[in-house]
Amino acid sequence: MKKFILILTCGLLFGCRGNSQKAVKSPAGETAQLTDFAVQKTDAQWRAELSDMEYYILRKAGTENPGTSEWLKNREKGTYVCAACGHPVFETDYQFDSGTGWPSFDRAIEGNVAYSVDYKIGYKRTEEHCSNCGGHLGHVFEDGPGETTGLRHCINGAALDFIPEQ
């Protein structure tokens, strides 16, 4: 019996496949390369330029508390840009109230968001990054408005700055 348990334990330990080498796909199916960004800075440079919260979210893939974003109820027309580099990532035309406590959009500005796979909480999620500097923005889920894209880009407000429409 001990031999059986030992063999079973070894099989479980060595038989599980890791996910760290899997190809990363966006919701549209393109493979993302998360090391090739136009804006490259040292950790010290990012720390000096960003607030503590912006650094935590954009550079360490943190998450702000739900309901705390100043952009959660923004109804002014304009463009959200990455708070780290100013790259446009979302338009208010596609913002909606998801009821989750984070600013939500049914689409990103095409080509301005990169994607990776995140298993940090035990299951697969699609993580979103600024395609210009690699800053962590949030995650995209497939439970958005069915009448549009069906996607919910759940974004940390501290990762965004807002530029009102002129």
In contact, 127 and 108? CB cutoff 8 Å: no
C-alpha radius of gyration, the chain, whole number: 19
Catalytic residue among 82, 130, 133, 154: 154
Q: Would you state the structure tokens that stand for residue 13, as one six-digit string?
A: 């330990």
User: Is 133 annotated as catalytic?
Assistant: no
Helix, strand, or coil (residue 126): strand
Give start and end residues of each alpha helix (H) in 34-114.
Answer: 43-49, 52-58
Q: Would you state the structure tokens that stand for residue 68, as one six-digit string?
A: 């705390």
Supply the residues annotated as catalytic.
154
